Each structure stands twice: as structure tokens, then as C-alpha cells.
Amino acid sequence: MAKHPNIVLIMADQLAPQFTGAYGHPLVKTPNIDALAAQGTRFDAAYCNSPLCSPSRASFMAGQQVSRIGAYDNAAEFPATIPTFAHYLRRTGYRTCLSGKMHFVGPDQLHGFEERLTTDIYPADNAWTPDWLDPDRRHPHWYHNMDAVRQAGAAATTFQYDYDDEAVFLARRRLFDYRMSDTAPFAMVIGLIHPHDPYVARPEFLDLYDPEQIDMPDETPVDDPHSARVRAGIEAHPGSVSLEEIQRARHGYFANVSYFDSNVGKVIQALKEADLYDDTVVIVTSDHGDMLGEGGLWYKMSWRERSARVPLVVAGPGIRRQTWADPCSLIDLLPTMRCIAEDAEPLAVPVDGVSLWPTLTQGAVSQTEAVGEYCAEMAPGWPVCMIRRGKWKFTWCRVDAPQLFDLEGDPEERNDLANSAEHMEILQAFVAEAKGRWNSDAIRSDVLRSQAMRRIVQPALETGYMTSWDYAPHRDAAQEFVRNTVSWDDVLHRMQYPAPGGTT
């Protein structure tokens, strides 16, 4: 049997497709993602399944909605017994590797990956637990506020640049290791932190843009209850930031999008130099987007388009060159990767995603909707849910009025059709579907139970001697580079590609 394709998935953090050249932004420069999109499939209505880092990534790994796996927020444990795409791929013989961020919470920091090359950039404990019994209270230690906008600008380095530079360097080196020492296919996930705020960028990326050309958002506040909660939670009050600060923050974000794109280019270059590119499916996506001032909102935590939509570009052997309009979401990637691996074994548990492989390889309709749940901070003590199907986008929460948008006619979501008599039948059908799909009482009860347990566990673990869950990458210096346990020639052949004399 021929070797199955390798998989390299590069995940940004907080990258809205609307702010990339690959998706049509006239200013933002993303030449490497552009090139991938030209070679493969660009999905134009891909969504996260929860617009916050950790729950989005857990649902992506598991192929399940957050209420099914209990990964509600940035401090909720992702249970180790839940199968992920890394487990499934590893079972079929793939080598599995994670370099960079995945924001796993809990003592399991691998979740099916055979190896992890870096620690995570964010903590693995339960400290960032929201309180649905007091949903209006801010947690100043870890909640976003507008400081990230006010402090935007230039820096020679930041902790985020250090992190991404290391994650990409180690990933590139591991790709050459795979080429020189392995015959099994591999699946590598590279999780980067950019363009996540703070909107601070290196000068060379800022210099790609003329500050006077930075397009500005429509700050007219969107007035639905959840948007009002998010604005209050991030302290985005009228006048809290100046036009100059908004422009500088967007400039920094655009620069960091280009920095992320440059790292995509470095990974592609390594694949080509290692003669792996033609045998590798490359996926570029993000965990969620960034409102970046639109509607008076910043960051994520919202089902608005710039927060909830993600880029999804897939290129590689057998994949068609096309753009695809049907909605899909990150949970569809687990069944898609199982198809790449031709995994015919049964799923251990049902998943909520649908394989996109028929679309990617045949141009056939596969997934036709995106569904998500938000159960974290700034929710009103109840889940805030979303359905995107066709041109319709519907959001629903038990204590809020439902919303209905026609994204074809109203891509900026400024005209809520929920009170339109003409659309009442469509709205009622969505409401009935939502009530049947989500048991809000049960979800609320489980979220409150989870939060209550974590509020006991976290301070207890911090008392006395603390054993951290944060991942510490293993390195054995005795086995690295030139050592007396191996010959010089062995090191040359192991760490040089092509090997001395031009052999591979």
C-alpha cells in the first residue's frame, strides 16, 4: 500500500479571514496563504465552534461541541479519555507531533500527540474560571480590557514573537528529522499565537504598511444583549480608545498577520527543501477571529462574523483548486483527517463533524452548516448558541432575544430580521431547532457544576507544594549534536539533508 499523505496543520490564534489578502482584504499582505489558496481549496464560510481559545481548540481536536466534552472555557479541563484526531491518526500508524500552542487545560498535555516540541504559551491550570453565578463581575487578573489597544505599537521582540519563532524553528527541524529517519506518514500541528493581541509588532512587519492607509472599523455599536455584555466585559466604553489608538492597533494586527504568513512560508519552504511538499496535505486555519473594533467590539467571545469565522485553506495531493461557499467548521477536520488516513475503524464515540474530503477531492457537497456554543465569560449564565446554514445566521440564548441575519444581503450583520414579519416562519423554525438541539437547563447545570469544582481545586493546588500541569518538553542533551557515543559520520548523516555525497 502506498504511503498515506502527511498532514501539516498550521493554526493561527485570533486570525479573522476578513483581514487577510487571501480572503480579499485590499491591504493585508499574506502571499504564502494566497499561494496555498491558489493551489488548493479556500473555504469561505468556515467557523470556529466556540469563539474562545481553549474551548475552540478542544472541540477542534475532538470533533465535538464543547457541551459534549465539558471544555467550556479557558480553564475547563479537556478530559484525557476523549479521542482526538491525533489518537485516530496515531492508531493508523501516523507519527503525531505538536509544536506550539494548543491551550490544553489539565494534566494531559498531549491528547494523542506522540511528542510535543514546546511548552504552551498559556497556563494549563483552572485559574481562569469564570463565574456564571456572578456573570457581570470582571476578573481583572485575566479578562481582556482595552489596554491591548492603547498599548499597540512596535517592539524589537515580545514573548509572543519568542514563542512563535521557537515553535516554527523546532517544527522545521522535526520535518527534516521525519524525512531522514522515518518511513511512516506524519501529522504535525503547528500552533502559533499571532496575530492575537497585544497588537505589538516588529518594525519590519509594521513597515509593510503605510499607517495612513489602515482602514478603520465601523464603530457604530451593535446593540444586541451579548454584544453589550462583551463591550462591558472588555471595558470598550465610548471614548475608551482614540482613533489614533484604533489605527495603531489595527496596524499592529495587520503586521502580525503578515508575520504569521511569513511563518507559513517558512514551513512550506522546509517541506519543499525536505522533498516532502508533494506528499503533504497542508491546512491553514485559526481558532477564532478578532472583531478589531467593528461594531465597537474587540477580540472574540462573540458570534459576529469577524470573531466567529476562521480561515480554512487546504492544499496538497489530490485536492482541487476551488473556493467553497457552503458553511463548515473546525469540528469537520477530525473526520476529514480520518479520510486522509483512510481510517476504516469505527469511531470510539460519535462526532459532530462531517468529513470535507468529498469537497476537497471531488468538489462534492459534504458539510452544509456550522454550529457552535459559547459557554464562557460574558455569557449571561446560559449558553449562547449559533447556527449558520445557507445564507442564514441564527443566534440563540434562553435569556436573550434570538437574532437572524441574511449574510448575503447583510454581511455586516446590521439588520436583525428576528422582528420581521416576512421572516417569521424562518425564525420560528430556527427557534424550534435550537430548543430541540440544546437543553439549556442541562448545559447550565453542568457548567455551574464544573465551575464550582474548579474553584475548589485551583486554590487547593496552589497551597503548599504545587505540581504544575504546564508541559515541560523533554530534551536529552547527551543525545544531541556531536557526542562520543556516536561517530561523527553518523551525526552528519542523521542531521544533514541531503546527506553528505548527495544521498538521501
Give φ, ψ of 318 to 5 degrees: 85, 0
CB crowding 367-401: b at 16 or more within 10 Å, else e: bebbbbbbbbbbbbbbbbbbbbbeebbbbbbbebe
Task: Give me the sheet containing 322-324, strands edge to edge.
Answer: 115-116, 95-100, 186-195, 6-13, 280-286, 312-315, 41-43, 322-324
Query: Distance between CA 188 and CA 317 in Å, rounded?
Result: 17
Which residue from 324, 373, 330 is spatially nearest to 354, judged by alpha carbons? 330
Give the angle subtended at the CA of 130 by the CAs of 126 and 135, to the nearest 5°.
Answer: 170
What is each CA distance from 310 to 16, 50, 285, 420, in whole angstroms?
A: 6, 11, 6, 29
What amino acid is encoded at 89 in this protein? L
What is each CA distance from 321 to 106, 225, 285, 338, 400, in whole angstroms?
A: 40, 41, 17, 21, 42
Query: Distance between CA 263 and CA 205 in Å, rounded?
Result: 12
Cross-strand pairs, 281: 7
Query: Distance between CA 396 and CA 408 in Å, rounded?
Result: 20
* Annotated catalytic residue within 48, 53, 375, 385: 53
Which residue from 50, 171, 193, 162 is spatially nearest to 115, judged by alpha carbons? 171
375 is catalytic: no
State the sign of the Cα–Cα–Cα–Cα dihedral 399, 401, 405, 411: negative
CB 183 within 8 A of CB 91: no
Element (H, E) at 59: helix 53-62
Q: Are strands 322-324 and 312-315 parallel, antiparallel or unpaired?
A: unpaired
Q: In this structure, what C-alpha cell is assigned to residue 316?
A: 496538497
CB 416 within 8 A of CB 224: yes
103 is catalytic: yes
Query: Distance between CA 233 and CA 134 in Å, rounded?
Result: 12
What is each CA distance from 443 to 71, 133, 378, 384, 486, in whole angstroms?
A: 12, 14, 16, 11, 57
The torsion of the CA quartet 314, 315, 316, 317, rounded to 10 degrees, works out to: 90
What is the CB-side half-sphere exposure of residue 284 using CA atoms within 13 A? 30
* Annotated catalytic residue within 103, 111, 196, 288: 103
Residues that are catalytic: 53, 103
